[in-house]
Chain A
Amino acid sequence: MTTFNRSALFPGLAAVLIPIAIGMVFFYSPLEKTMGSVQKIFYFHLPLALTAFLSFFVACISGIMYLRNRQRIWDARLAASVEIGVVLTTLVLITGSLWGKPIWNTFWTWDPRLTTSLILWFIFASCLILRSAIDEEGKRATFSAVMAIVGFVDVPIVFLSARLFRSIHPTVIRADSVGLETSMLVTLLVCMAAMLVFWVGLYKFRVSLFLQEAMINDLQTDGTKS
């Protein structure tokens, strides 16, 4: 069984796709009328958000699988996907903020999507904090699995409540009233593909790191025992 990530396929693909994507963003995609060039943040902001969501979904599934059969590989997958998800969500929040400032003249707005991202960040960052607080592998895995599952179950509720919340303030900004013309759509799809490939490569790398650390840990404790 291939425990470790031995293929350079995904990193290689990412190394090709990402420059192409960036090139398309800056040279191929058209200039948007109302927002100007700042709109181009969108081409990575959206893929980052979707990939982060995918990451958290994988975390939830891994949590369920771990609770079912207690195999280390599922804990590895959970740890990797939560960590990557938090990194990506951080970038979603930063890019969202930087996009908002020139457009709406504010760094933050309680837009349902940004709000959901923020709460997601807190939920899964707290999961990371939980993991760092427990040393025993089994306990750490079980507890973080439970938190990842409830955390993800919370997501649709968060999104719905964020939509209800904002209706106090009817002067809310409608962010994406951008009609996507073909060249924009193509650019977006290329960026999405690049981001996905990058995620897979990163995810496999992180899982293999986790497994290596666990194995070395096993060796060390065995060594000190005998």
Chain B
Amino acid sequence: MKDTYLVLAYMAIWIGLSGYVVALAQRQRKLSAKIEVLHKRLRVKED
């Protein structure tokens, strides 16, 4: 019974930390999309 808490705790740590990393990666992906948009806009201006 006690061991459930141990498992839960480590699950919480894992989900918490990897969840945060995934959230950051998601932000990075959105940034890359923005760069693409800006780049396209620059291309259009040059033409």
Direct touching of A and B (C-beta under 8 Å): yes
Contact B38 A87 (CB under 8 A): no
- Give every chain B residue within 8 A of A185 (Cβ-Cβ): none
Contact A40 B24 (CB under 8 A): no
Partner of B31, one of A37, A91, A216: A216
Chain A 186-213 interface 0/1 with B at a Cβ cutoff of 8 Å (1 = within): 0000000000001000100110010011
The secondary-structure label for the interface of chain A is: helix
Interface hits, B2-31 → A, CB 8 Å: 2-3, 5-6, 8-10, 12-13, 16-17, 20-21, 24, 27-28, 31
Contact A94 B38 (CB under 8 A): no
Contact B5 A98 (CB under 8 A): yes
The secondary-structure label for the interface of chain B is: helix
The chain B residue with its CB closest to the CB of A217 is B34
A178 at the interface (CB under 8 A from B): no
A90 at the interface (CB under 8 A from B): yes
List residues of chain B with CB under 8 Å of any chain A CB. Answer: 1-3, 5-6, 8-10, 12-13, 16-17, 20-21, 24, 27-28, 31, 34-35, 38, 41-42
List residues of chain A with CB under 8 Å of any chain B CB. Answer: 22, 36-38, 40-41, 44-45, 48, 84, 87, 90-91, 94-95, 98-99, 101-102, 198, 202, 205-206, 209, 212-213, 216, 219-220, 223
